[in-house]
Every structure is written in structure tokens, then in C-alpha cells.
Amino acid sequence: MIKFIIPAVIFFFVVLFWEKINEAIYKKFNIKINNIIILILLVILGIIFALLYY
């Protein structure tokens, strides 16, 4: 039961504090984290579709 609760709480806090996380990373590295996450998701989807195709 705890293995389901801990990831749900972590996910909830990431969603809740997303703007603060994004601002902190932007100030530190001068890069938008939204662009990186979108790129990573597209790459993962591309890999999944390639594996399903072959």
C-alpha cells in the first residue's frame, strides 16, 4: 500500500509546486524545463512507437 501512496504524494507535490520548480531551474540554469520535458516525452513516445512497429 505504501508503494502506491509515496509516488502519488510526490506526483501531487510536483504538480502543486510546478511553477516554483520551473522558476528555480530557470534562474539557476537559464533554461525552461517545459521544453526539456516535452522533448523527452516526444523521444520516449517515438521509441515506444518504433518498438511497437518492429
Q: How far is CA 28 from CA 25, 37, 41, in A?
A: 5, 17, 23
What is the spatial distance between Cα 20 and Cα 9, in angstroms, rounded to a whole number?
A: 17
State the pLDDT at residue 13.
Answer: 93
State the pLDDT at residue 50.
Answer: 93
pTM above 0.75, yes or no: no
- SS3 assignment, position 4: helix
What is the spatial distance between Cα 44 and Cα 50, in angstroms, rounded to a whole number?
A: 10
pLDDT in tens, 5-41: 998 999 899 889 988 988 888 898 888 888 888 889 9
Tell me the residue length of the chain: 54
Q: Which residue has the cell 506526483?
A: 11
Domain hosting 36: range is 2-53
